[in-house]
Structure 1
Amino acid sequence: MNYNTSSESCDPLPMQSTITLNISEKDVYSEDTYNPFDHRKVLHPTSTLGSFFHLLKSSLGSGLLAMPAAFKHTGLIPGCIGTALVGVIATHCVHILVSTSREICGHCRVSSLSYTDTCEKVFKHGPHTLRKYSQTVRHFADYAMAGVCLGGTSVYVIFIASSLKDICDHFNPNYTFSVKEYCGFLLIPLIALTQIRHLKFLVPFSLLANICLLLTFVITCIYTFSDLNDISTVKLASSPTQWPLFLSTAIFAMEGINVVMPVENEMRKPQHFLGCPGVLNVTMVLVAVLYAVVGVFGYLKYGDDVKGSITINLPQDEILALTAKVMVATAVYFTYCLQMYAPMDIIWTRIKDSMRQKFHNTGQIVLRTLSVALTVILAVAVPDLELLIGLVGAIFFSTLGLFIPIVVETVHKWDRGLGKFKYILWKNTLLLLFYLLVLVSGCYSAIKEIVIKYT
């Protein structure tokens, strides 16, 4: 991936004389005079369809099958409303992040910027009082990205391990392993897959994962839609004190913002990413509909007995159900690699200059191996799928997907205009309050449940 941030600078031009030409910095670096798309040189560009599959896969991981458990915390009516709300907010935050990144690219005259580069440049060329914090903001974004990577992929490890345990326990009931042991068995296969370093080469895996997830979805629907319980057996609305776990789970499920900038930066036609219909809007509408369907009917079928993944509720002694468990484990396995791509690229960009060129390949292997090992260790430490999803969603996914884009857009627009009646400021203030609600209430609810369960 080539972000061109080292060779192209967006520092102001030096003054050649004291004569003023009445040309402002904004005029010199007008976004209208520099189109970043015309200057992007990507070694392995991704097609629009391939980008759609990548973005869809990043939002359709294990979270899709966790939605029935999320509906358990709200009931049917608040669950449907909440799914739509989270979908709209998540889409909007991705939109403002990408739009801001494109505008700052035009201002700085660079072809593309990563997630963390965007955060840094916005503060570096924002209000004067905030410019000194540009490096701090970059580090914060990096840490948030690392948290999403480690927390999210640790959930994936537990998800795969739980599915494998169900499958193997059926075929060999006399000798079983724990979920923690299956997490350990996954270490080598995950390390091998994560060595793929170009997003273009992940397109076949992303397509395969989407097919497996689609077939799993179909099989799950076959079981879910048969012999549905009466609506009177489930709650239309639960106590609001249980809603925070729904919000954090839904945000975990829908947020794929750590993959957004690499996908957009490596598109052959990046102008197809935003707009209507656009890759982003089409993907998120499909995602929201799928989440609502799985959540509603999964909760109707299994009620309060629904597990962290609805596939765990499927029968263990039927071939069709076992097939679904194999395919969903395969889908999440390939999703793991896609979710690890962006953080690995960011970390490698920051450390590669500290070692000699001939050691770059070895350095990449070591970095990716250690990162995978850390996610497996975290999965072994907290092997509870539902609660870990809620905790990771509340802390890391909400920070990366809600808080940072909100702050970045506000800072970027501060001197450039906040719109009529400063609507951008009011809108982002409401979004910030929503983020704080998810963060505080989601963490409290998840930690409380963890303490209760393990004590």
Structure 2
Amino acid sequence: MSAQHTNPVFVSDESYTERSFSTLNNPQGNSANKDVFTIDLKETNKAKEAYDNYDPFMHRKVEHPTTNSETLFHLLKGCLGTGILAMPKAFSNSGYLLGSIGTVFIGVICTYCIHLLIKSEYELCKRRKIPSLTYPATAEAAFSDGPRCLRKFASVSVHVVNTFLLIYQMGTCCVYVVFIGANIQSVANIHIKEMGIEIYMLIFLIPLILINWIKNLKRLAPFSTAANAITLVSFGIILYYVITDKPSFDNKELVGKAENIPLFFGTVLFALEAIGVIMPLENEMKSPKSFGSTVGVLNVGMTTIIFLYLGMGLLGYLTYGHAVEGTITLNLPKEDVLAQIVKISLALAIFVTYGLQCYVAVDITWNEYLGPKLEKNSRQVLWEYVTRTVLVLITFVLAVLVPALDLFISLFGAFCLSALGIAIPAAIETCTYWYSRSGASFYIMLIKNLALIIFGLCGLVAGTYTSIRDIIKEFS
């Protein structure tokens, strides 16, 4: 979606600036004052009145709008995946005190940055008189309204966001492949001749390709519902094992080694961040104003998620200490039948979820880039299936090359979500409200967002470096 517009742009407060990117010219031709235009006052007042009267929420036409409770359930479902099972490993890198404080802190930062993104989307939609925007379109619109030096990056920002989203979704699929292989291996090796994890990944390769060939997600809906039920029951059983094994603070670190903190950061980001599903969920709501309110869907959902992750991470680490695996399911008693059922059930649930996660990667790769270029090609359908197959093969090859669940999670969390979940939303808010700059509130916002951008970039660099370093160390 293009961010270009012909109407004057207004900010949400009384201190607004009138300007146009495409139709207004500087009558004096003074290059030093390119943002100063002569505008008819009557037309300006009409434009401002139209801006004030337009509410994007009232113009959204959704075929099947979701209620607040349904949206909350979808949010919880989107966040409760393999990430929560890696939280005990994250705590083993941070220590139980720093891990507890860090999980809450990162959760609050993530939630706050989602609020920034949703608020900016609303403002940009209001200016353009359109009902909703996607994440990439929001970035493009924000940079178009931002400082002059950043406007040239507006179209590029779409591809940057899409690239991070694509890498994150592909990374999630890699994690799923490793998770499936590791859990099936853990059970199968007890009953049959021991085989490497790569063999079990290979067994699931054809089924993963076939599930990714399904274009209509409604066909996966019944399986997805069953997978969600299995996942929730399995989490309850895992917590039962953890608690009955008597968690203890003995021989547990209060604060972990400094060199391992970036691994903790990346894992928690991967586990907590749901930036890929936030805007679609908000755009499909029956009452979207309830999403970002004080006691709205976002705050209630994220608070619940933070404490669930905190509980799983803390109890898992206090129970298994530094012996905890990349997924806590591998620490369950190997000979116990119930534990084996949990591992197989979760592996099958994640197998179904793989199709949903890879759908986003297909949507970006095919619908945004390859599909339009092959629109007139007689073999377009064939090329789409080739694309879907290649995406699965990429995740499979990466999983086979680096079958380290915890390091994969930390790597993709640090690399993608530091940018998507923290730095980019802060940059979007800054650009969105750039032309309302007046008074102390603007400079407070600017300093705060610069701090968030620096924090996100530092997490990206440190987390990515540490994860790659440990991957090389483990598999060299």
TM-score by length of 1: 0.89
User: Is 1:236 the equivalent of 2:236?
Assistant: no
1:364 and 1:324 map into 2 onto residues whose CA distance is 35
Q: Partner amino acid for 1:451?
A: I
Q: Deviations over 1:61-83 (max 9, x none)?
A: 11101010010011110010001
User: Is 1:423 the equivalent of 2:444?
Assistant: yes
Asked whether the equivalents of residues 68 and 297 of structure 2 are also in contact (C-alpha less than 8 Å), the reply is yes
Match of 1:432 in 2: 453
Q: Using a 3 Å threshold, how does the CA distance of structure 1 residues 129 and 443 change in structure 2: closer, same or farther? A: closer
Q: Using a 3 Å threshold, how does the CA distance of structure 1 residues 9 and 201 change in structure 2: closer, same or farther? A: farther
Q: Using a 3 Å threshold, how does the CA distance of structure 1 residues 84 and 370 change in structure 2: closer, same or farther? A: same
1:433 and 1:299 map into 2 onto residues whose CA distance is 30
Q: Report 1:75-94 matches (<5 A).
A: 75-94=95-114
User: Is 1:449 the equivalent of 2:474?
Assistant: no
Q: Partner amino acid for 1:307?
A: E
Match of 2:293 in 1: 275
Asked whether the equivalents of residues 166 and 360 of structure 2 are also in contact (C-alpha less than 8 Å), the reply is no
Q: Deviations over 1:336-371 (max 9, x none)?
A: 333334343334442443304986655544433332
Match of 1:101 in 2: 121
Secondary structure in 2 matching 1:232: coil
Match of 1:374 in 2: 394
Match of 2:428 in 1: 408
Q: Report 1:267-416 matches (<5 A).
A: 267-351=285-369, 352-354=371-373, 355-356=375-376, 362=382, 364-416=384-436
Instruction: Give aligned-pair identity as a percent.
Output: 38
1:268 and 1:362 map into 2 onto residues whose CA distance is 38
Match of 2:203 in 1: 185
User: Is 1:122 the equivalent of 2:178?
Assistant: no
Q: Using a 3 Å threshold, how does the CA distance of structure 1 residues 104 and 309 change in structure 2: closer, same or farther? A: same
Q: Partner amino acid for 2:462?
A: S
1:360 and 1:420 map into 2 onto residues whose CA distance is 52
Considering only CA atoms, is the larger Rg found in Structure 1 or Structure 2?
2
1:446 and 1:438 map into 2 onto residues whose CA distance is 12
Q: After superposing the two structures, state which structure 1 stretch, 354-363 or 413-422, moved more.
A: 354-363
Match of 2:183 in 1: 163
In the TM superposition, what is the alpha-carbon distance from 1:294 to its structure 2 partner? 0.6
Q: How many residues align?
A: 448
Asked whether the equivalents of residues 63 and 254 of structure 1 are also in contact (C-alpha less than 8 Å), the reply is yes
Q: After superposing the two structures, state which structure 1 stretch, 181-190 or 413-422, moved more.
A: 413-422
In the TM superposition, what is the alpha-carbon distance from 1:21 to its structure 2 partner? 2.9
Q: 1:132 aligns with which of 152, 155, 159?
A: 152
Q: Partner amino acid for 2:239?
A: C
Q: Partner amino acid for 1:353?
A: P
Unpaired stretches in structure 2, ≥5 consecutive residues: 8-21, 28-37
Q: After superposing the two structures, state which structure 1 stretch, 380-389 or 195-204, moved more.
A: 195-204
2:218 and 2:304 map into 1 onto residues whose CA distance is 23
User: Is 1:52 the equivalent of 2:72?
Assistant: yes
In the TM superposition, what is the alpha-carbon distance from 1:142 to its structure 2 partner? 1.3
2:446 and 2:224 map into 1 onto residues whose CA distance is 38
In the TM superposition, what is the alpha-carbon distance from 1:198 to its structure 2 partner? 6.0
Q: Partner amino acid for 1:428?
A: N
In the TM superposition, what is the alpha-carbon distance from 1:253 to its structure 2 partner? 0.7
Secondary structure in 2 matching 1:415: helix
The CA RMSD over aligned residues, in Å, is 2.8
Secondary structure in 1 matching 2:436: coil
Secondary structure in 2 matching 1:274: coil
Q: Deviations over 1:169-190 (max 9, x none)?
A: 2232x2x432222222223333
Asked whether the equivalents of residues 419 and 457 of structure 2 are also in contact (C-alpha less than 8 Å), the reply is no
Asked whether the equivalents of residues 148 and 396 of structure 1 are also in contact (C-alpha less than 8 Å), the reply is yes
In the TM superposition, what is the alpha-carbon distance from 1:236 to its structure 2 partner? 1.7
Q: 1:261 aligns with which of 270, 274, 279?
A: 279
Match of 1:252 in 2: 270
In the TM superposition, what is the alpha-carbon distance from 1:312 to its structure 2 partner? 0.6
Secondary structure in 1 matching 2:433: helix
1:431 and 1:47 map into 2 onto residues whose CA distance is 32
Q: Partner amino acid for 2:212?
A: T
Secondary structure in 2 matching 1:236: coil
In the TM superposition, what is the alpha-carbon distance from 1:24 to its structure 2 partner? 3.9
Q: Partner amino acid for 1:298?
A: G
Asked whether the equivalents of residues 247 and 315 of structure 2 are also in contact (C-alpha less than 8 Å), the reply is no
Q: After superposing the two structures, state which structure 1 stretch, 11-20 or 44-53, moved more.
A: 11-20
Asked whether the equivalents of residues 11 and 108 of structure 1 are also in contact (C-alpha less than 8 Å), the reply is no
Q: 2:58 aligns with which of 29, 32, 38?
A: 38
Q: Using a 3 Å threshold, how does the CA distance of structure 1 residues 115 and 357 change in structure 2: closer, same or farther? A: farther
In the TM superposition, what is the alpha-carbon distance from 1:192 to its structure 2 partner? 3.4
Q: After superposing the two structures, state which structure 1 stretch, 301-310 or 157-166, moved more.
A: 157-166
Q: Using a 3 Å threshold, how does the CA distance of structure 1 residues 168 and 199 change in structure 2: closer, same or farther? A: same
Q: Using a 3 Å threshold, how does the CA distance of structure 1 residues 370 and 281 change in structure 2: closer, same or farther? A: same
1:31 and 1:158 map into 2 onto residues whose CA distance is 50
